[in-house]
Structure 1
Amino acid sequence: MASTFAYANSTLREQVSLKEKRSVLVIFWILAFLVGNTLYVLYTFSSQQLYNSLIFLKPNLDSLDFFDLLWIVGIADFMLKYITIALKCLVVALPKIILAVKSKGKFYLVIEELSQLFRSLIPIQLWYKYIMGDDPSNSYFLGGVLIILYSLCKVRWAMGRRFPITNYGVRATSQQCAEAGEICAICQAEFREPLVLMCQHVFCEECLCLWFDRERTCPLCRSVAVETLRCWKDGTTSAHFQVY
Structure 2
Amino acid sequence: CLAQNPKEKRSVLVIFWILAFLVGNTLYVLYTFSSQQLYNSLIFLKPNLDSLDFFDLLWIVGIADFMLKYITIALKCLIVALPKIILAVKSKGKFYLVIEELSQLFRSLVPIQLWYKYIMGDDPSNSYFLGGILIILYSLCKSFDICGRLGGVRKALKLFCTPQNYGARATSQQCAEAGEICAICQAEFREPLVLMCQHVFCEECLCLWFDRERTCPLCRSVAVETLRCWKDGTTSAHFQVY
Structure 1 and Structure 2 fold alike (TM over 0.5): yes
* Counterpart Cα distance in 2 of 1:183 and 1:216: 21
3-state SS in 1 of match to 2:27: helix
3-state SS in 2 of match to 1:228: coil
Deviations 1:102-122 (A, max 9, x none): 122221222111111111111
Find out whether 1:97 has 2:95 as its counterpart: no
* Counterpart Cα distance in 1 of 2:221 and 2:156: 32
Relative distance call for 1:53 and 1:175 in structure 2 (3 A) is: same
- Residue 169 of structure 1 is matched in structure 2 by 167
**Structure 1 unaligned regions, length at least 5:** 1-15
Find out whether 1:72 has 2:70 as its counterpart: no
* Counterpart Cα distance in 1 of 2:185 and 2:42: 44
Deviations 1:78-105 (A, max 9, x none): 1111111111121121112221221222
* Counterpart Cα distance in 1 of 2:134 and 2:161: 30
Contact 2:214–2:225 (Cα < 8 Å) also in 1: yes
Query: What is the TM-score normalised by the length of structure 1?
Result: 0.80
* Counterpart Cα distance in 1 of 2:228 and 2:154: 21
3-state SS in 2 of match to 1:233: coil
Which stretch shows the higher mean deviation, 123-132 or 67-76? 123-132
* Counterpart Cα distance in 1 of 2:206 and 2:200: 9
Deviations 1:117-147 (A, max 9, x none): 1111111111111112222223333323322
Contact 1:183–1:190 (Cα < 8 Å) also in 2: yes
Relative distance call for 1:159 and 1:176 in structure 2 (3 A) is: closer
Query: Matched residues, percent identical?
Result: 93
Query: What is the TM-score normalised by the length of structure 2?
Result: 0.80
Contact 1:69–1:126 (Cα < 8 Å) also in 2: yes
Deviations 1:27-68 (A, max 9, x none): 212112211111111111111110000001010111111100
Deviations 1:195-220 (A, max 9, x none): 33333433221111111222221112
* Counterpart Cα distance in 1 of 2:178 and 2:158: 40
Contact 2:216–2:222 (Cα < 8 Å) also in 1: yes
